[in-house]
């Protein structure tokens, strides 16, 4: 009975392959699938344990491994079983191509999940508070990276299957160039928005100055940024224009360096002039949250003795700076008045080289001006 059963499995064929060999191939495929599935589960458990102690990389690796497709794993196991069979040459070539397809798809799934996790973590870590375009940019970046990834995977599979992809790639390149030229301004603003999100030269709530424009950032979008100016109106500016300009961000000002100047008249006594730097230093040091730097008689101007003074305000607030400067000015007025120092005032000299002829009209006018007898 057993001999007859064995003969039945060995003598009967399917597609030119004995039933026994097919049964052995199927058994090998099932065993391979179970072993591979168990191995992957074991690695996932180990990685999860590491992720509890080692941090972000282990957590990302655990989630990437969780994206292993059971369907692709089963296909790979079937290919292992088929390799046990004595297949014709043309079938062996197709099996080899299927190996590449299965491997490429699985690697694509792992890379797809890794891209999503990596970008989400990056934008979560670097996204500023209130940066409204953060999630949109994360979605846009992930979409672009995934399109690129699957395009490469599909082209690689087609090439491995014997499809000539040269013309297809050339067509895609020409089409991509045409589309890029058509929407280059929009793409420029989109990439500028991505640059703002990644590099963060400013965030929502920052007070910035761009050339003649100054105001507080209210919204950073995918194409434009909206700024509320000091006058109250809203300024809408393209992101590409902002990135191409010099941006002064006063929100990130840690200390404010102040340089102020004043002039004393030339008829100020020399002793009072010598005391002026000390008076300035005393006036500055009397203020809170201020660090004195220097005070010097800079030079002899056309109309005044010119002084230049520098101090540092430890708090960047503009109102605080103005209060401190006002207090310094009041103190200088008081002290300079006591030592006899006089602030210089602009003087304009008019030189008269000639007077009009003494006609009746001019004489009458001169008399009216009180110039008779001059």
Least confident piece of the model among 31-45, 89-103, 121-135: 121-135
Per-residue pLDDT of 240-254, as tens digits, reads: 888 888 898 888 888
Per-residue pLDDT of 60-119, as tens digits, reads: 777 777 778 888 888 888 877 777 666 656 666 677 678 788 888 888 888 888 888 777
Domains of the chain, first to last: 13-181 (no CATH), 190-249 (2.30.30.60), 253-374 (3.30.70.100)
Residue 374 — very low, low, confident or very high, per pLDDT cuts 50/70/90? very low
pTM above 0.75, yes or no: no
Whether residue 171 has pLDDT greater than 60:
yes
Burial pattern 245-265, b for ≥16 Cβ within 10 A else e, equals eeeeeeeeeeebebeeebbbe
Whether residue 131 has pLDDT greater than 60:
no
Among candidate residues 344, 337, 334, 347, the one with its CA nearest the CA of residue 261: 344
Whether residue 2 has pLDDT greater than 70:
no
Per-residue pLDDT of 196-217, as tens digits, reads: 877 788 888 889 999 888 899 9
User: In this structure, are residues 57 and 97 in contact, taking their beta carbons and an 8 Å threshold?
Assistant: no
User: In this structure, are residues 85 and 21 in contact, taking their beta carbons and an 8 Å threshold?
Assistant: yes
Q: What percent of the chain has a predicted confidence (pLDDT) above 70?
A: 72
Q: Which residues contact 5 (CB under 8 A, 6 or more apart)?
A: none
- Which of 129 and 170 is assigned the larger pLDDT? 170
User: What is the average per-residue pLDDT within 33-42?
Assistant: 84
Q: DSSP string spanning 29-48? A: HHHHHHHHHHHHHHHHHHHH
Q: Say what the pLDDT of residue 106 is.
A: 85
Per-residue pLDDT of 275-334, as tens digits, reads: 999 999 999 999 999 999 999 999 999 889 999 999 999 988 888 999 999 999 999 999
Whether residue 358 has pLDDT greater than 60:
no
Among the residues of the chain, which ranges form H helices?
A: 2-11, 19-54, 56-65, 70-82, 89-126, 134-160, 166-182, 184-199, 239-243, 270-285, 318-339, 360-368
Q: Say what the pLDDT of residue 65 is.
A: 77
Residue 121 — very low, low, confident or very high, per pLDDT cuts 50/70/90? confident
Whether residue 8 has pLDDT greater than 50:
no
Q: Which two tokens stand for residue 207?
A: 């007070």
DSSP state of 162: T
Q: Say what the pLDDT of residue 272 is.
A: 93
Q: Say what the pLDDT of residue 329 is.
A: 95
Q: Say what the pLDDT of residue 52 is.
A: 64
């Amino acid at each position: 009975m057993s001999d007859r059963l064995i003969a039945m499995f060995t003598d009967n064929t399917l597609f030119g392959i004995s039933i026994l060999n097919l049964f052995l191939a199927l058994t090998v495929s099932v065993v391979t699938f179970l072993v591979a599935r168990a191995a992957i589960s074991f690695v996932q458990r180990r990685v999860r344990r590491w992720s509890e102690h080692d941090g972000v990389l282990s957590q990302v690796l655990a989630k990437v491994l969780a994206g292993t497709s059971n369907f692709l794993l089963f296909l790979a196991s079937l290919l292992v079983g088929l390799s046990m069979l004595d297949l014709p040459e043309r079938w062996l070539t197709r099996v080899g191509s299927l190996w590449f397809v299965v491997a490429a798809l699985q690697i694509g799934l792992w890379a797809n999940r890794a891209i999503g996790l990596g970008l989400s973590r990056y934008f979560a870590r670097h996204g500023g508070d209130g940066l409204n375009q953060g999630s949109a940019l994360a979605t846009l970046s992930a979409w672009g990276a995934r399109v690129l990834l699957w395009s490469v995977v599909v082209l690689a599979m087609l090439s491995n299957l014997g499809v000539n992809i040269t013309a297809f790639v050339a067509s895609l390149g020409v089409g991509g160039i045409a589309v890029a030229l058509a929407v280059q301004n929009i793409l420029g603003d989109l990439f500028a928005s991505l640059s703002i999100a990644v590099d963060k030269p400013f965030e929502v709530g920052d007070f910035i100055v761009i050339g003649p424009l100054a105001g507080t950032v209210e919204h950073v979008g995918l194409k434009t940024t909206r700024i509320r100016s000091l006058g109250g109106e809203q300024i809408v500016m393209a992101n590409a224009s902002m990135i191409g300009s010099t941006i002064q961000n006063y929100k990130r000002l840690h200390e404010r360096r102040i340089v102020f100047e004043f002039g004393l008249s030339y008829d100020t006594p020399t002793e009072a002039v010598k005391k002026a730097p000390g008076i300035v230093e005393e006036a500055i040091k009397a203020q809170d949250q201020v660090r004195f730097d220097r005070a010097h008689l800079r030079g002899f101007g056309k109309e005044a003795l010119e002084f230049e003074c520098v101090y540092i305000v430890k708090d960047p607030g503009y109102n605080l700076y103005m209060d401190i400067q006002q207090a310094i000015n009041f103190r200088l007025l008081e002290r300079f008045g006591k030592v006899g120092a006089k602030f210089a005032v602009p003087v304009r000299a008019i030189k008269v080289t000639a007077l009009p002829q003494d006609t009746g009209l001019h004489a009458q006018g001169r008399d009216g001006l009180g110039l008779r007898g001059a």
